[in-house]
Structure 1
Amino acid sequence: MKKLALAAFITAATLGATSVQAADYVIDTKDAHAFVQFKVNHLGFSWLLGTFNDFEGTFSYDEANPSAAKVDVTIQVASIDSNHAERDKHLRNADFLNVKKYPEAKFVSTSYTPNGDGTGVMKGQFTLHGTTNEIAIDVKEIGSGQDPWGNFRRGFEGSVVITPADYGMNYDLGPAAENVEIFLSIEGIRQ
Structure 2
Amino acid sequence: MKPFRLLLLAPLCAATLAAAAPYKADVAHSNVTAVFKQMNVPVEARFKTFSASLDYDAAHPEAAKAQVEVDTRSLDLGDPEYNGEVAKKEWFNAAQFPKATFVSTSIKPAGAGKLAVSGKLTIKGKTADVSFPVTSKAEGGKPVFEGQLPIRRSAFNVGEGEWKDTGIVADEVVIKFRVSAAK
TM-score by length of 2: 0.87
TM-score by length of 1: 0.83
Among residues 155, 170, 174, which one is paired with 1:177 in the alignment? Answer: 170
Partner of 1:28: 26
CA distance in 2, matches of 1:174, 1:39: 16
CA distance in 1, matches of 2:22, 2:139: 13
Residue pair 1:18, 1:64 contacting (<8 A) in 2 also = no
Partner of 2:62: 67
Residues 70-128 of structure 1, C-alpha deviations (whole Å, 9 max, x = no match): 11111110011011222222211122111111111111111112113111111111110
CA distance in 2, matches of 1:14, 1:113: 24
Partner of 1:38: 34
Are 1:123 and 2:112 counterparts?
no
> How far is the alpha carbon of 1:173 from its aligned partner?
3.3
CA distance in 2, matches of 1:103, 1:15: 41
CA distance in 1, matches of 2:94, 2:17: 41
Among residues 127, 135, 150, which one is paired with 2:130 in the alignment? Answer: 135
Give the number of aligned pairs.
Answer: 178
SS in 2 for 1:98: coil
Residue pair 1:70, 1:112 contacting (<8 A) in 2 also = yes
Letter in 1 for 2:72: V
Residues 123-151 of structure 1, C-alpha deviations (whole Å, 9 max, x = no match): 111110111111113200031554xxxxx
CA distance in 2, matches of 1:13, 1:59: 24
Percent identical pairs in the alignment equals: 28
Partner of 2:74: 79
